[in-house]
Structures are given as C-alpha cells and as structure tokens.
Amino acid sequence: MSILSILEPANATTATRQAVTRLTTGSIPATVGADLLVPLADGRVTDYANFDHGASAPCLESVRRAVEAALPSYASVHRGNGYASRITTQWYERARAEVHSFVGAREDDQVIFTRQTTDALNLLAKALPAAATVIVFESEHHAALLPWPAERTVRLPAPSTSTGAVTAVADALRQAPEGPRLVVVTGASNVTGEIFPLAELAAVARAHGARICLDAAQLAPHREVDITELDVDWVALSGHKLYAPYGAGALIGRADWLNAAEPYLYGGGATASVTADATVWNEGPSRHEGGSPNVIGAIALAAACAAISQHREAIEQHERSLLARLRTGLAQIDGVTTYDIFGADADRVGTVCFTVAGISSTLTSAALSAEYGIGVRDGKFCAHPLVGHLLQDSPEHGTAVRASLGLGTTREHIDRLVAAVRTLATKGLSRHYEESAHGCQPADDPRDLEAPQIW
C-alpha cells in the first residue's frame, strides 16, 4: 500500500499531494527538529547533535503530515456509521496492513497494536500456555528480560560469540522440560548495537520444537525485518524508535497462543457478547485491544513503516557510513574504551557504547551537552546485567555512555562528537559540574533549561 493512501484525505488538493511527495521522496526521510538550536554554557548557540536515537527517535516529517491529515476526521473506530468513524476505521485497518507488510508477516499472522515493545512483550507473556518454558539471554533489554514467569524462565549468560549464542540456546532447549518452549532474543543490542544471529537461532528453535520471539525495537529502524524469511514466530517493535513518537507499538505473529489466552485488557472491543451469565471474547487482534485504541499512534506507526520501507537502502548506506566514521574516530583516542558483546568485527546498527578514562559517564554526557550541544545517553540503558558484564573489567566505571545515531545525524555531528570526546579524554573537564535530582550541569550554568509552557 502506498503511503499516499494513508497521508492523503479523499479530497486532497494538488498542493497537498505535492507536499506529501516532497516529504516521502529523496534519499533520506526528513525528521522534525532537524534545525533545533540549543544553548551552550559559554553563551553560544549551536544546532543539536542528537545521538540518542536508541532511546527515542525524532518524528519523521511524513509521519507528522500523516497525523495532520488524519486529525480533522479523527473519530472512534469500528461499529460507527458516521462518515468520520468510517474513514478513521479504514485508516486504522490500513495501518495494521502496513505494519504487517513492513515486517514481512505471514498471511495469517496477527498485528496487535500496543503501546510499545514493552507492552507487546508483556502481552505475549500473558498469552504463554501453561507450563511454557522461556529461554532468554541476560543481555536483553529489561522489556524482553523481565515479563516471563520467573519459575519457568531460563536466563542464559551474555554470549561472547554468535556461535556461542546459538550453542547456548541449543543446549538450553535440549535440557528444557517437555511442553511449549519460547526463545526470546533481541535483534540488535540496545547497548552495543550488535546484531544477533537471528536466522540461526530460529533454526535451532525449530529443530527443538520451540518458538521464537524477536525484540526488534532496535533493529527495525535500521535494518529490514522479515518474519517469513527469518522464520520467527513473533516480532515486537515500538513506534517511538521508528520515528513515530505517538504512543503505539505492535506485536506481530502467530495467532494460536494469542487466541487461546485471556484478553490482555478486559473491556469494550474485546468482547463478542456479554450477558448476565457469560462473556464471549473476540478472536483476532481485537481480543487484546480492549478499549478505544490509539488510532493516531497506529497511523503514525504505519506512515513511518511506509517511509522507512521506501528508503531502506539509502537509510542503511547513510548509517553504515556514519557508524564507520564514528567508530574509527573513537578508536583513535587514548583513554576511550568501546564495548562489544561479540567483538569489534560484529555486524551492528548505529550504536556505540564507550567510557572515558577518569571521567564518569554522567559527567561525560553532561559536558557533551553543555559545551558541545551533543545529546547522548548515560547509565545502564535498561540492560543492567549486560552493562555489568561489559564493564566488569573496568572497575572505574559502573555505567557507560551510549551514542546512537539515525536519520537526524550528519557527518558534522559525528566529527563534533569525536572532537569533543578527544578533548575530554586529553584535557579533562573544563568546568565544574554539579549533580542534582534534576541532572548534572555546570555549576555556573547560564542556560535556561526550564521547558516553556506549550499549551
């Protein structure tokens, strides 16, 4: 389905069509806020270098346009005969079809709209058959590590090689009790960006009669995800990491466990009939989409999926080039250590995890922001076991810095980050910083960091 069918209302003008075309063609999709200016502690102003795409990516211009096109006729979906409800229902179900296509889902796979990846994986956890065993690496994001029943979950140590990951899962499946079994694996690490051997892990799961769920939150924005080709059973993803920050995500995959489970949310939409004596629940996506759904979020997610699919090759080339430049630059700085699960040569998306000798990750991120207009993430990235594993030989550091690039990143941003880290590593901090409940910033910070009232 063309993105234009989602973006354009039925009576779209020529000017509207031209605007939509401008936003959805070209080598790299444009992002909202690409011209954002931020204040520095020395009084200057600079354009913002966003290296926090791994937490939440900026909105695509085409996504914003889709939302703006949908809002005038926004209404509740399903069972409404009014014009606005009929139009909105069509957009909502087209959005479901767009997400289905985006991940190469099988014809009978369901697309259930959720809040984000965390919500999707919790939904699947609630749908597990009785006595199901779950196998998961401790290197997972907490969203994929924590939802499963503790007494029936096997946590594997963080692997050190791709081959070792496959072997560990095979061994765990051989030792697992009979009955339903589920392997849960990330597509790309949210800490290091490294890509796991997904096809090989799926093959191992199949060989042992197990199912496999892919956490694609960090992978889908950067690389193609194809359920059919990978032969995985479910994929979970988030709109806010896919340049659609409107509160929607999705769980896509096989229907049987989901149709057999109790509804994730009890309420309207999930029910086929309700009487004084019994409740009959729907099957299909509506079973787990109780309540009025986030229609605008679904439309935004679909618009992002369409734009990324259209520009996939250009996006990958753009990000591979920038990542290589960033990794080469950081590798040449004495005192900077980067961290990997599988090693320096592993395939990865645009994320780098590093520390600077003599400076904590909190101070590093604060200095990059205050003095250079660079936004990174510091901490343990909702992956505490993995960060602890990676930093076990770095007693100086309990946390790390993560730089994650994306569509809003330029070569100048890369060079600015490398130069800033080099200055910090060789000369140290140029200002005194203070930590508070509100964060870390220069003691004499002249910047106005209060958010303006926007409503």
**Is the distance from CB of 159 to CB of 342 less than 8 angstroms?**
yes
Clarify whether 440 is annotated catalytic. Answer: no
Q: Could you tell me the maximum CA-CA distance found in the chain, to the nearest angstrom?
A: 74
Answer left, alpha or beta for residue 291, where phi above 0 means left and psi between -120 and 50 means alpha: left
Q: Which of 59, 213, 305, 382 is catalytic?
A: 382
At 289, list the tokens: 């989409």
At 33, list the tokens: 């806020």
**Is the distance from CB of 77 to CB of 90 less than 8 angstroms?**
no
Of the candidates 275, 300, 257, the residue with the CA atom closest to the CA atom of residue 95: 300
For the chain, helix, strand, coil in percent to 5 are: 40, 20, 45
Which helix H or strand E contains 413, and what residues bound it? helix 411-427
| Alpha carbon 116 to its chain's center | 8
Of the candidates 318, 329, 301, 292, the residue with the CA atom closest to the CA atom of residue 403: 329
What is the identity of the amino acid at 381? F
Distance CA 280, CA 8 (A): 38
Known catalytic residues? Answer: 382
